Amino acid sequence: MKKPQILIIGNNENGCTPELEHISYETGREVARSGAVLITGGLGGVMKAASHGAKDANGLVVGIIPQNDASFANEYCDIVIPTGIGLARDFLTALAGDGVIIIGGGAGTLSETCAAYMHKRPIVAIKNTGGIADKYADQYIDHRQQIKVIGVSSPKEAVKMILDKINSA
């Protein structure tokens, strides 16, 4: 039986505060504890902190990076997929996850969120983390109302909710 694959997206290292790092670490740890595979963009910030949390809980971490050289990935990735396609890799990450958890985030996070939305992937946003998570929590991305981004308050709640959505799809 295939393990669920959960994509965690959010701020890169430039916008990742210690609080966001802590939330990301805890979310990655919850993903691993659930038995799911963690997917990230494989770089720094939220991606690195979530990967670190998953590794500390003996989880499997996949990093899908925009560069063509695996050495750019953070040290917590077990599997690195160097795409060499730059920002277009956002579509690969969005489709690699059976569901998405948003923590904060800027334009890159919005790109991944929109790609997941267009393909009707379940999306959960951790509220009070700023950026894209707060902007779209409990909202639809657009007038088509394909799927609602579900706002939650904690890493544990985020992983439980996304797994419920994945399992009911």
* pLDDT tens digits along 83-107: 999 999 999 999 999 999 999 999 9
Contact 142, 114 (CB under 8 A): no
Structural domains of the chain sorted by starting position, each given as residue range(s) with its CATH number in brackets: 5-168 (3.40.50.450)
SS (H, E, C) the chain: CCCCEEEEEECCCCCCCHHHHHHHHHHHHHHHHHCCEEEECCCCCHHHHHHHHHHHCCCCEEEEECCCCHHHCCCCCCEEEECCCHHHHHHHHHHHCCEEEEECCCHHHHHHHHHHHHCCCCEEEECCCCHHHHHHCCEECCCCCCCEEEEECCHHHHHHHHHHHHHHC
CA distance 94 to 97: 6
Judged by phi (left if over 0) then psi (alpha if -120 to 50, else beta), residue 128 lies in left
Share of the chain above pLDDT 70, in %: 100
Residues 13-31, mean pLDDT to the nearest whole number: 95
pLDDT(169) > 80: no
Residues 18-24, mean pLDDT to the nearest whole number: 97
Sheet architecture: strand order including 148-152: 79-82, 61-65, 37-40, 5-10, 99-103, 123-126, 148-152, 139-140
Residues 37-53, mean pLDDT to the nearest whole number: 97
pLDDT(73) > 80: yes
Residue 59: per-residue pLDDT: 98
Residue 1: per-residue pLDDT: 82
pTM over 0.75: yes
pLDDT digit string (tens) for 103-142?
999 999 999 999 999 999 999 999 999 999 999 999 999 9
CA distance 22 to 49: 7
Q: To the nearest whole number, what is the mean pLDDT of the chain?
A: 96
Residues 34-41, mean pLDDT to the nearest whole number: 98
Residues 2-31, mean pLDDT to the nearest whole number: 96
pLDDT digit string (tens) for 149-159?
999 999 999 99
Contact 111, 87 (CB under 8 A): yes
Residue 155: per-residue pLDDT: 98
